[in-house]
Amino acid sequence: MEPMDKGAIVRTFDGMGCHGADLTAVSALELFGREGDWHTAVYASRVQSLEVWEINPAFEPALRRNLPSAKIRITDSIVEVARTQDRFGLIVVDNPQAVYAEGRYCEHFELFPTVFRIAQPRAIFLINVNLRPYGLEANRPWSERRRNFYGVAPHALAPEFVTSFYRALAAANGFETRWSFLVPRNSFISYLVFSVTKNH
């Protein structure tokens, strides 16, 4: 696997600024924290507040060390999005790849559509999208889960397909997409950013 380009998160946040997003006023949530040093620490100082969720308690000390001003919660994010009463203006989904959690989860698919309930009326989603998954041919469960989620052949997703797919998902859940863009992290995975407003 190629290393992730940390410059990608900088370009992504710069891109949001170019679209007029005032990130200094935003309450951000990172749903898959790990130790917070791959990309969260890069943007932590650019948002007003940051909450980080991570399932593995072994990462908690490093998370607190790397993100001293963040609120840290050790929890299953996919369960937590269904029960929290909190709402966020920036929702970051740096999900694991393939199928995990003994087959319960795949990429970020189980977050949708529930994750829309934790979005403020104006919110930005920043999610990992895998346009050309490495090793998919040899991983049938992953391939099937992608086919079911996206509804198309899962091996190579066009950028235009991905942006319109998440736009339609937002629309079906009461949110209009104001703008969106993709930033490659490596030759497989990109950040997809989409900014939404809640329909009345």
Ligand X SMILES: C[S@@+](CC[C@H](N)C(=O)[O-])C[C@H]1O[C@@H](n2cnc3c(N)ncnc32)[C@H](O)[C@@H]1O
- Least distance to ligand X from the beta carbon of 164, Å? 25
> From the CB of 186, what's the least distance to ligand X, in Å?
13
Alpha helices by DSSP H, 44-200: 60-66, 77-80, 140-150, 159-172
Q: Which amino acid is at 165?
A: F
To ligand X, the closest distance from the beta carbon of 115 in angstroms equals: 12
- Judged by CB under 6 A, the residue of 21, 36, 125, 196 near ligand X is 36
Which residue lies nearer to ligand X by CB, 174 or 184?
184
Ramachandran sector of residue 144 (left: φ over 0; alpha: ψ -120 to 50; beta: rest): alpha
The window from 29-37, 112-120, 138-146, 153-161 that contacts ligand X (CB under 6 A) reads 29-37
The DSSP output letter for 52 is E
Q: Which two three-digit tokens encode residue 176?
A: 């209009």
Q: Do 54 and 63 touch, CB atoms closer than 8 A?
A: yes
Binding mask 110-149 for ligand X (x = CB under 6 A): ----------------------------------------
Contact 27, 91 (CB under 8 A): no
- Among 11-19, 34-42, 111-119, 151-159, which window interacts with ligand X (CB under 6 A)? 34-42
- The site for ligand X, by CB under 6 A, has a size of 21
Nearer to ligand X, 177 or 185 (CB): 185
Measure the CA–CA gap between 30 and 147, rounded to whole angstroms: 26
Tokens of residue 21, six digits = 């997003």
Q: Which positions lie near ligand X, rule CB under 6 A?
A: 30, 32-40, 53-56, 59, 76-78, 94, 96, 101
